[in-house]
Amino acid sequence: MAARGFIELLRLADYGRQRQQGGQENENTRWSGIAFSFAGYQFVAPLGEVAEVIPVPSSTTVPSAKSWIRGLANVRGRLLPLTDLAI
């Protein structure tokens, strides 16, 4: 149910961008995305917004951090914050 609403929002955003650029919506217009599930919900993200998909890396906890901060992960030399979106 939530996934259909999200897809509709993405479709409307794409339509708005096309109108802003002066283009007409076309039956052959294609949109590429990647679907995933998280915490029992299904989502879709624009493919251009996704750099890569990796397994959950090992992480280190951060002392005195908020409860939604799960820690820091070292991914190829870059420290990335891990957050819990369910909290």
Chain segment 12-64, per-residue pLDDT in tens: 788 888 877 765 555 667 888 999 887 788 989 998 888 888 888 999 999 99
How confident is the model at residue 22, as a pLDDT?
A: 67
Structural domain boundaries in the chain: 2-49, 54-87
How confident is the model at residue 63, as a pLDDT?
A: 95
**Among 25-34, 62-71, 78-87, which stretch is predicted with the lowest mean pLDDT?**
25-34
How confident is the model at residue 3, as a pLDDT?
A: 62
What is this structure's pTM?
0.50
DSSP string, the chain: -HHHHHHHHHHHHHHHHHHHTTPPP-TT----EEEEEETTEEEEEEGGG-----PPPP-B--TT--TTEEEEEEETTEEEEEE-TT-
